[in-house]
Amino acid sequence: MANYDYDLFVIGAGSGGVRASRMSASYGARVAVAEERFLGGTCVNVGCIPKKLFSYGAHYAEDFEDARAFGWNVGERTVQWPRLVENKDKEIARLNDIYRGILENNNVTLYEARATLSDAHTIEVDGETVTAANILIATGGWPVIPDIPGKEHAITSNEAFYLPDLPRRVVVVGGGYIAVEFAAIFHGYGTEVTQLYRGGLFLRGFDIDVRHTLADEMKKKGIELRFNCNATRIEYSGDDYVVTLEDGSTLEADCVMYATGRSPNSAEMGLEVAGVKLRENGAVIVDDQFRTSVSNIFALGDVTDRIQLTPVAIAEAMVLAANLFNDQDQQMDYADIATAVFSHPNIGTVGVTEDEARRRYGAIDVYRETFRPLRHTMTLREERTMMKLIVERATDRVVGAHMVGTDAGEIVQGLGIALKCGATKAQFDATVGIHPTAAEEYVTMRTPISESETLAAE
């Protein structure tokens, strides 16, 4: 590899790209990374981190209301949206510097510029031509807006984090996790929110009880959910955006946000010139070792359009670096990856859905409980928590765990470890719960629900 400038050149300094760079360098490789936008990628700048910060802030409206039940008198409240954006920007800048420090401290050369491929070993970057024995594509994804008249009037999650003022009325179009999260964020800050989804029920691919429970809770909070509904046109009229729906009716809003999916960020990078094969949607095709159709070019993370989660990209990067530069033969394990959705209330999920479990295992037992959280026995808020376990009957193994409720992600992370270890329902039952917590419900559910109590298949 000495005939090349670098042993590894990484395009994209998001979570996966930075981790691959750092670990490869720690194994003695000569590494460079190019990033044309911002260090940390989507997660740090316009994804997980700012979204979670906004979600925290959106909870305060209900917290202020609930405080009275616990003896507190809370006075007049107003929202200073620009202050939120400013403080978020400060935190993101701090994280950008941390990522820069990680690269510098590991002797990774950083090019803050766009990089393109001239061939399988040659990169054009910042006016230079450099060569590398191996190249990693870790450029992530980018939100897309359907090609409808007036699409230029809509924003995506990228722009939502930089709005100069809090909109009074927002139409959110989409039914995935980003859509429900931003519907909750805007509503929590006092915005009138209407969410449109073209299907009959949002969050396709999640467990059916999760989907129904969240829809019910969002409606209780005052978010208007319109299913089997889609926008056909957006116009700007006076001070309003007018959204025309498929049935010809219209909605007026101060902001229209699309969260209808993300596409792999692979265009105009020279991948085709280098011989890298892409799917129709631009996803880089890779094998189980992240190798593309060109033997020395690899790709991981969202640009491969598989599991679009930051920890997945990081784990893939660890495997790739160890295999390339530490004489390992590892393979990424995609089973039982836990995840959370920071809707209000939160979702936590790991393992298979009920519908998938029936297809895969046949005979299963389903345990499900819904209850009012202890906190709301004082506030009298109507919010309900839903917890669910799915058990393969033949082995007693717990194959799915799902939750809608406060801190669902924090709780389900621990269950993810249990499922990864192959825990059985008997072992859950033998575990003494922590009282009083919502989490203890997972070790006290004893009676499976009947077939008649299950919801319709997804």
DSSP for 368-393? EEEE--TTHHHH-----EEEEEEEET
Residue at which a domain ends, from 296, 325, 354: 325
Same domain as 447, residue 431: yes
How many angstroms separate the CA atoms of 49 and 56, rounded? 11
Can you give the pLDDT at residue 450?
Answer: 87
At 313, list the tokens.
């990209």
Which has the closest alpha carbon to 245: 194, 204, 288? 194
Can you give the pLDDT at residue 455?
Answer: 63
Instruction: Return the amino acid letter for 268.
Output: E
Can you give the pLDDT at residue 451?
Answer: 79
Which runs of E-coded beta strand occur in 85-164? 109-111, 115-119, 122-125, 128-137, 141-143
What range does the domain containing 294 cover? 6-142+263-325
In a domain, residue 332? The reply is no
CB 416 within 8 A of CB 311: no
Same domain as 434, residue 372: yes
Can you give the pLDDT at residue 453?
Answer: 76
Can you give the pLDDT at residue 360?
Answer: 97
User: In the predicted model, what is the mean pLDDT of residues 198-209?
Assistant: 97
User: In the predicted model, what is the mean pLDDT of residues 386-409?
Assistant: 98
Which tens digits make up the pLDDT trace of 125-138? 999 999 999 999 99
Can you give the pLDDT at residue 270?
Answer: 96
Whichever domain contains 307, its CATH number is 3.50.50.60
Same domain as 377, residue 269: no
Can you give the pLDDT at residue 1?
Answer: 59
Which tens digits make up the pLDDT trace of 63-103? 999 999 999 999 999 999 999 999 999 999 999 999 999 99
Tallying the residues shown for the chain, one arrives at: 458
Residue at which a domain ends, from 213, 232, 260: 260
In a domain, residue 334? The reply is no
At 227, list the tokens.
């299913």
Same domain as 250, residue 178: yes
Give the predicted TM-score (pTM) of the model. Answer: 0.95
Same domain as 127, residue 174: no
Site of tokens 């033969």: 329
Residue at which a domain ends, from 221, 236, 260: 260
Confidence of residue 456 (pLDDT cuts 50, 70, 90): low
Same domain as 216, residue 316: no
In a domain, residue 330? The reply is no
Instruction: Write the CA distances from 208 to 65, 84, 352, 403, 455, integer angstroms.
Output: 31, 35, 11, 11, 7
Same domain as 378, residue 241: no
User: In the predicted model, what is the mean pLDDT of residues 264-289?
Assistant: 96
Same domain as 211, residue 181: yes
Confidence of residue 452 (pLDDT cuts 50, 70, 90): confident
Site of tokens 């765990």: 401
Same domain as 386, residue 302: no
Marked catalytic residue, from 59, 344, 376, 435: 435
Same domain as 413, residue 382: yes
SS3 58: helix
Which tens digits make up the pLDDT trace of 359-374? 999 999 999 999 999 9
In a domain, residue 295? The reply is yes
Q: Which residues pair with 194 in a beta bridge?
A: 171, 224
In a domain, residue 331? The reply is no
Whichever domain contains 431, its CATH number is 3.30.390.30
DSSP code, position 90: H
Tell me whether residue 70 is exposed, middle or buried, using C-beta atoms within 10 angstroms of its C-beta: 0 to 12, 13 to 18, 19 or more.
Answer: exposed
Can you give the pLDDT at residue 354?
Answer: 97
User: In the predicted model, what is the mean pLDDT of residues 221-241?
Assistant: 96
In a domain, residue 34? The reply is yes
187 is catalytic: no
Q: Which helix (H) or strand (E) holds 322?
A: helix 310-325
How many angstroms separate the CA atoms of 48 and 42, rounded? 8
* Residues 386/387/388/389 CA torsion (nearest 10 deg): 180
In a domain, residue 160? The reply is yes
At 166, list the tokens.
């809090």
Which tens digits make up the pLDDT trace of 234-263? 999 888 999 999 999 999 999 999 999 999
Share of residues in the chain with pLDDT > 90 (%): 97
In a domain, residue 1? The reply is no
Share of residues in the chain with pLDDT > 70 (%): 99
What is the number of domains present in the chain? Answer: 3
Average pLDDT, the chain: 96
Same domain as 256, residue 122: no
Same domain as 376, residue 279: no
User: In the predicted model, what is the mean pLDDT of residues 261-269?
Assistant: 95
